Chains A and B, each alone.
Chain A
Amino acid sequence: MAVKHWVLIPVLLLVASLVQAGPSIESWKTSRGAKVMYVHAPDLPMVDVRVVLDAGSARDGDLPGLAKFTNAMLSEGAGDWDADVLALRLEDRGIELGNGSLRDMAWVSLRSLIEPEVLDVALGTAQAVLAKPRFDAEAIERVRQQMQIGLRRSLQSPASVAKRRFFQTLYADHPYAHPPAGNESSLAAIRRGDLERFHTRYYVAANAVVAIVGAVDRETAETIAERVTAGLSKGSHAPALPAPPAVSGGELRESFPSSQTHIYVGQAGIARHDPDYMALYVGNHVLGGGALVSTLGEEVRNKRGLSYSVYSYFSPMRVDGPFLMVAQTKNDQADEALEVMRATLARFIEEGPSEKDLDAAKQNLIGGFPLRISSNGKIVEYLAMMGFYDYPLDWLDTITGKLAAVDVEQVRDAFSRRISAPSGIAVIVGGSG
């Protein structure tokens, strides 16, 4: 018996340290078919509601910027209220409304106090914003101007230019290729009818997920979800995206009037439910994912002082998102930095991480898990993401166990199969010295 206990105790300790339950998530569908993800957080008298839709720039079609344009129009007047009245309704009550869109996802977010009169106005306004944007002519021209100017501003930044080129090169004619912010000619070409068509097709209940976190009980959460989606037609989910094309490696150099050269090196990475996700994610944490501790950081920044901000990441998306290594250095060091980045990656693919580095990365990710779900603001983003990409409800509960299970051989194997240094694309944007 004593022996048995001796064995059992460490096992129990191990299990206890691995099973870290996330918040208790409840999920259901609204009467119109929108998926709801809900966590009860009773401590602060506030509620966060985040509605995400499969209405990002991957749905732009032949009008780059259309998804972002449509999303930006939502808060520029809806239902009976023009932009002035809409803003007053919210700000007279301290309600915060946000919106935005990227390649996969578009969203509307709402933060409100739970006082019934305030919450009532918040929900009524959000309902109109999602379902009844006015698309007034004057507001369309205003947003068009703002987007054109935003575009010009981003073209003042060598980092933005390099990132745009990287996506265009990597994704060729795939819907991920063009920048979500669009381009000058497409922004000029977008008409009211295009915005309305986009909105009618993609801002529908079947294409939406509603995440709710706050001091509201289940019954109230159900009412919240019904109210914000009440104006949406049922519709259907956005169709599947095509697989990204296979693009071979190469270098693209572009001159820019800057003192630094920005380097983006990478290739196609992984989709959300990729079986290699965990191994690549943990492996990348060793390679370039850790904020102040990583192999790239050590080689490029700490050993050589080449760059302030050097990192790598996988961006898992609906279909294969990119794997990217990024650094920036003064112009005459650009080739050296590029060489160090490539050599570091090649060595990592060849050898995999050391046992010690992998353990340290796993400890960081597992030990840091409670930090990732430590506020309502963080939890609501997780819920929206999980709902959007169809993760199981217990995903947060299982994540530390999955992280713990990754070993050196899995990482080496996954990197050697999925990432190949020669097929990487390098985009180098900067001055000549």
Chain B
Amino acid sequence: MLMVLRIGFVYMLLAWLPAFAQVTEYQLSNGMKVIVKEDHRAPVVVSQVWYKVGASYEPDGLTGISHALEHMMFKGTEKYGPGEFSRIVSALGGNENAFTSRDYTAYFETLAVEHLERALELEADRMRGMLLDAGEFAKEIAVVKEERRLRTEDKPSGKVYEQFNAVAWRASPYRNPVIGWMNDLEHMTVEDLGDWYRRWYAPNNATLVVVGDVQPEAVRDMAERHFGPLETSEISALKPAAEPKQSGETRVEVKVPARQPYLMMGYKTPIVGQADEPWEPYALHVLSSVLDGGESARLSRELVRGRGIAASAGAEYGSYSRLPGMFLLDGTPTDGHTVAEVEQALREAVATLREELIAPDELKRVVTQAVASKVYQADSLFYQAMEIGVLETIGLDWRLIDKEIEALKAVTPEQVRTVARRYLVDENLTVATLKPLPMDKKSARPAAQAGGRHGS
């Protein structure tokens, strides 16, 4: 009875959201795509320009160039000097930044809605007008190396993730870190960046996503005014760089100074748009939530609480990417237990999914959580824009977002078992473990009168 009521409510919610959030799409004559989602709750707007370029586009020897170029995109055009972009947006009360991933590079501004046009003008200016000055590059590449030290060199989990990908993939460009290998950063030149910029930064390789308190016609006019006159580039198709079939388990050990062991595992899996059968990614999504969709899910219930062998254990599957990815598992053993035991327990959890059907209430819970998440996500303009931008940029239709719930509802326990049997198998597995080396003996050296108190 309650069940019936809740399903009824779910449909009501889903009916509510699209009406609330109108999406309009159009293409400029130079090929640039513009997608506008209305959200009139507050007089603000987020604008994101997405380029189809990222770490998975990079050849060997030039890893990290997409990210390095993203840094340089704030360093001056013919019209605006270094840092001026940021100063102008800041003075408008805006937040702005950029992010680079395997499959995309995106630039965003969040600001009061009346300043949207200025942001678009600035983005259009730097789409074709960057100067890429050698002196600015020399300083900025040093900053990028510092970023790499911060995020990877000095961070045990960052090191493990990097090594994990490096051994898991043979041909797929997903084997390279987004920030690039240090040696490649050391040999990168401003000329390399110029070539990369001219090759990928063009209206016919970009999508503008605007979400907020806007009218779609007005946004189209602005986009037409500023991006419309920009010239196109000839964008050559990437070679597929398909990953050959893995034929046995791969392992890597990472030894760095650390205090806590750690384990990461991954099975190669298909993605939306490139699966043998279209339901497979959704079955993997359900499977991932059955293992790690909250505190009630199997890993928390059985490994963290029940058996107490892991302090934390997680599962993660991304169904949206340009190239096939992985189903990831990770865990940290509790004292008195080893990474080997955590690995064994995670393998058992996967084996159970190959052998037994998931329970109907587990499936129902995953769908309920997904429906609630859709509602909660509508609270964030940025998230809404991200969803659209990611799908468009990896070559999918953003409308898939609205079909996700239906696709999850259609998943059966048999399908979940089928994807476990097909993909979550040892031949398809990579395992990385962190073996802590001793940290140097602590030696606090008080200089001067550190911490000496005066007064009271």
Q: Give me the interface of A with B, judged by CB distance under 8 Å.
A: 41, 43-46, 75, 83-84, 86-88, 90-96, 111, 113, 115, 117-118, 142, 145-146, 148-150, 152-153, 155-158, 165, 168-170, 172, 245-260, 290-293, 298, 301-309, 328-330, 360, 363-371, 373-377, 425
Per-residue A-contact encoding for B135-151, CB less than 8 Å = 1, 0 else = 00011111111110110
Contact B449 A84 (CB under 8 A): no
A142 to chain B: which residues have CB within 8 Å? Answer: 304-305, 308
Within the complex, the shortest CB–CB distance from B412 to chain A, in Å, comes to 20
Q: Point out the residues of chain A lying under 8 angstroms from B140, CB to CB.
A: 305
Tell which of B379, B444, B449, B456 touches A46, judged by Cβ atoms closer than 8 Å. Answer: B379
- Kindly list the 5 A-B residue pairs having the minimum CB-CB distance in the complex, ordered from nearest: A367-B93, A94-B372, A250-B450, A305-B142, A305-B139
Chain B proximity of A65: nearest CB distance (Å): 16
CA–CA, A369 and B110, complex, Å:
11
* Best-buried of A41, A46, A91, A256 by chain B (most CB within 10 Å): A91
* Beta-carbon contact of A152 and B259 below 8 Å: yes
- Determine the chain A residues whose CB is within 8 A of the CB of B146 once the complex forms: 260, 305-308, 328-330
User: B153 at interface (Cβ–Cβ under 8 A)?
Assistant: yes
A357 to chain B, nearest CB (A): 10
Per a CB cutoff under 8 Å, which of A153, A253, A258, A365 touches B445? A253
Within 8 Å CB of B97, what residues of A?
291-292
Which residue of B110, B334, B376 is within 8 Å of A96 (Cβ)?
B376
A93, A148, A158, A309: the one within 8 Å of B368 (CB): A93
Contact with A along B69-95 (1 / 0, CB 8 A): 000001000000011001100111111
Contact, CB under 8 Å: B446 / A252: yes
CB contact between B452 and one of A250, A253, A292 (< 8 Å): that residue? A250
Pairwise interchain contact B372-A95, C-beta atoms closer than 8 A = yes
Residues in B with CB closer than 8 Å to A118 are 6, 9
Q: How far is the CA of A309 from the CA of B147 in the complex (A)?
A: 8
* A371 vs B41: C-alpha distance when bound (angstroms): 12
6 contacts between A and B (CB under 8 A): A44-B20, A94-B371, A149-B335, A152-B259, A250-B449, A366-B93
With CB as the reference atom, state the residue of chain B lying closest to A300: B143
Contact between B300 and A87 (Cβ–Cβ < 8 Å)? yes
A282 to chain B, nearest CB (A): 13
A250 touches B13 (CB 8 A): no
Nearest Cβ on chain A to B150's Cβ, whole angstroms:
6
Query: A245, B444: Cβ atoms under 8 Å?
Result: no
Selecting from B165-173, B217-225, B289-297, the interface stretch reads: B289-297
Residue from the list B90, B312, B380, B456 in contact with A293, Cβ < 8 A: B90
Given contacts A247-B451, A367-B91, contact A91 B296 (CB under 8 A): yes
Report how far A255 CA is from B440 CA in the complex, Å: 8
B375 CB within 8 Å of chain A: yes
A46, A293, A363, A374: the one within 8 Å of B44 (CB):
A374
B139 x A302 contact (CB < 8 A): yes
Report A-chain residues with C-beta under 8 Å of the C-beta of B13. 45, 113
- Name the residue of chain A whose CB is nearest to the CB of B377: A44
- Distance between Cα atoms of A260 and B143 in the complex (Å): 12
By a CB distance below 8 angstroms, the chain A residues around B258 are 156
B376→A259 contact, CB < 8 A: no
Which residues of chain B have C-beta atoms less than 8 A from A75's C-beta?
295
The reply to whether A148 and B335 form a contact with Cβ atoms under 8 Å apart is yes
Q: Which A residues lie within 8 Å of B257 (CB)? A: 156, 257
Which partner residue on chain A sits nearest B258 by CB separation? A156
Give every chain A residue within 8 A of B454 (Cβ-Cβ): 246-248
A232 CA to B284 CA, complexed, in Å: 43
Q: Is the CB of A376 within 8 A of B260?
A: no
Specify which chain A residues have a CB less than 8 angstroms from the CB of B295 in the assembled complex: 75, 83, 86-87, 90-91
Q: How many residues of B contact A (CB 8 A)?
A: 94
Query: Given that A87-B296, A305-B142, A308-B150 are known contacts, is A253 also in contact with B447, CB under 8 Å in the complex?
Result: yes
B9 and A115 contacting across the interface, CB-CB below 8 Å? yes
The answer on a CB contact under 8 Å between A254 and B442 is: yes
Residue pair B43, A370 in contact (C-beta under 8 Å): yes
CB distance from B324 to the nearest CB of A (A): 29
Contact B93 A254 (CB under 8 A): no
Given contacts A83-B295, A369-B93, A371-B93, contact A145 B311 (CB under 8 A): yes
Q: Identify B90's interface contact among A43, A260, A329, A360, CB under 8 A.
A: A360
Chain B residues within CB distance 8 Å of chain A: 2, 5-6, 9, 13, 16, 20, 41-44, 74, 82-83, 86-87, 90-97, 110-112, 115, 138-147, 149-150, 153-156, 257-260, 293-297, 300-301, 304-305, 308, 311-312, 332, 334-335, 361, 364-365, 368-369, 371-373, 375-376, 378-381, 439-440, 442-456
Known: A117-B2, A292-B97, A368-B93. A87 touches B294 (CB 8 A): yes
Residues of A with C-beta under 8 A to B111: 367-368, 371
- Min Cβ gap A195→B in Å is 18
CA distance A53 to B156 in the complex (A): 35
**Cβ-defined partner of B149 (8 Å) among A45, A165, A259, A368:** A259
The answer on a CB contact under 8 Å between A245 and B456 is yes
Task: Give CA–CA (A148, B450) in the complex, Å.
Answer: 28
Question: Measured between C-beta atoms, what is the minimum distance from B122 to chain A in Å?
Answer: 13
Residue numbers in B under 8 Å from A305 (CB-CB):
138-143, 146
Known: A152-B260, A246-B455, A367-B111. A92 touches B311 (CB 8 A): no
In the assembled complex, how far is the CB of residue A226 from the closest CB belonging to chain B, in whole angstroms? 24
Interface pair A293/B86, CB less than 8 Å apart? yes
The reply to whether A45 and B16 form a contact with Cβ atoms under 8 Å apart is yes
CB distance B376 to A292 under 8 Å? no
For A246, what are the chain B residues with a Cβ–Cβ distance below 8 Å? 453-456
A252 to B442 alpha-carbon distance, docked (Å) = 13
Contacts of B443 in A (CB 8 A): 254-255
Does A363 lie within 8 Å of B93, measured CB to CB?
yes
B167 to chain A, nearest CB (A): 22
Known pairs A152-B260, A298-B83, A302-B83 / 17 extra A-B pairs, C-beta < 8 Å = A43-B20, A46-B375, A113-B9, A145-B308, A155-B259, A156-B260, A245-B453, A247-B453, A251-B448, A253-B447, A260-B154, A292-B86, A305-B140, A328-B146, A364-B91, A367-B94, A368-B95
Q: Once the chains are docked, how many angstroms separate the CA of A41 from the CA of B39?
A: 14
Of B44, B361, B376, B449, most buried by chain A (CB within 10 Å of CB) is: B376
Please give, as numbers and ranges, the residues of chain A lying within 8 Å of B156 by CB-CB distance: 156
Q: How far is the CA of A301 from the CA of B75 in the complex (A)?
A: 12
B contact residues around A95 at 8 Å (CB): 372
Shortest distance from the beta carbon of B214 to any chain A beta carbon, whole Å: 14
Report which of B42, B139, B308 forms a contact with A374, defined as CB distance below 8 A: B42
Q: Are A257 and B444 in contact (CB under 8 A)?
A: no
B372: chain A residues within 8 A (beta carbon) = 93-96, 113
Bound form: Cα–Cα A305–B97 in Å: 18
In Å, the complex CA distance between A357 and B5 comes to: 58
Cα of A376 to Cα of B97 in the assembled complex, Å: 23
Min C-beta distance of A217 to chain B, whole Å: 18
Pick from A111, A254, A301, A371: contact of B95, CB under 8 Å: A371
* B374: min CB distance to chain A, Å: 10
Asked whether, in the complex, the Cβ of B440 is within 8 Å of the Cβ of A368, the reply is no
